[in-house]
Amino acid sequence: MMASRRRHGGRDHPRHRRAGVDIGRWGERQTGADTEVLSTGDTSSISIDAMTTMESSRKHRDVRTRSRRHCRVGGLGGLMGVEIDLRGRGYTNVIGTDDAGGAGCIAGPVVVASCCILGGISSIILPTMTTASPSSSSSSSSSSSSSGGYSSSPAAAAAASSSLSQSDIRALMGANDCKLLSHRERRAIYDVVMSHPGIFATSIIQRTPMQIDECDIGTVTMDAFAESIEGLVDEYDLSHRDTYAIVDGGRSPKLYSSSGRIVDDDDDDGSDGGGGDDDYDDHRRFPVRPYVNGDGRVYTIALASILARVKHDEIMVRLHDLYPAYGFDRHHGRGSIDHVNAIHVHGAIVGVHRMSFKRVRGR
Residues 97-143 pLDDT 10s: 999 999 999 999 999 999 999 875 555 565 433 333 333 333 333 33
Closest alpha carbon to 175 in 285, 361, 306: 306
Of 130 and 241, the structure prediction assigns the larger pLDDT to 241
Q: Could you report the per-residue pLDDT of 72-82, keeping only the tens digit for each? A: 444 566 788 89
Question: What's the pLDDT at 274?
Answer: 40
With beta carbons less than 8 A apart as the criterion, state whether 308 and 98 touch: yes
* DSSP secondary structure letter of residue 129: G
Question: What's the pLDDT at 79?
Answer: 82
Mean pLDDT of 198-211: 95
Across the chain, what does the average pLDDT equal?
73
Q: How many residues does the chain have?
A: 363
Question: What's the pLDDT at 87?
Answer: 87
With beta carbons less than 8 A apart as the criterion, state whether 298 and 246 touch: yes
Q: Where in the chain do CATH 3.30.420.10 domains reside?
A: 88-311
Q: Which residues contact 30 (CB under 8 A, 6 or more apart)?
A: 38, 39, 58
* Residue 243, beta-bridge partner list: 93
What is the Cα gyration radius of the chain?
25
Q: Could you report the per-residue pLDDT of 8-50, keeping only the tens digit for each? A: 444 444 444 443 333 333 333 333 333 333 233 443 444 444 4
**Neighbour order of strands in the sheet with 200-207:** 200-207, 110-117, 93-100, 243-248, 288-291
C-alpha dihedral (341, 104, 311, 147), degrees to nearest 10? 180
Q: What is the DSSP string of 267-321?
A: --S---SSSTTTTHHHH----EEEETTGGGT-HHHHHHHHHHHHHHHHHHHHHHH
Residues 88-311, CATH architecture: 2-Layer Sandwich (3.30)
Using DSSP, state whether 159 is helix, strand or coil.
helix
| Range of lowest pLDDT (144-148, 169-173, 307-311) | 144-148
Q: Could you report the per-residue pLDDT of 180-202, keeping only the tens digit for each? A: 999 999 999 999 999 999 899 99
Threshold 0.95, pTM exceeds: no
* Residue 246, beta-bridge partner list: 96, 289
Q: Could you report the per-residue pLDDT of 261-309, keeping only the tens digit for each? A: 444 444 444 434 344 444 444 445 789 999 999 999 999 999 999 999 9
Question: What's the pLDDT at 307?
Answer: 98
What's the pLDDT band for 163 if we cut at 50, 70, 90? Answer: confident
What backbone phi and psi angles, to 5 degrees, belong to 169?
-65, -40
Question: What's the pLDDT at 160?
Answer: 60
CB atoms within 10 A of CB 6: 15
333: left (phi over 0), alpha (psi -120 to 50) or beta: left
Mean pLDDT of 151-155: 49
Question: What's the pLDDT at 315?
Answer: 97
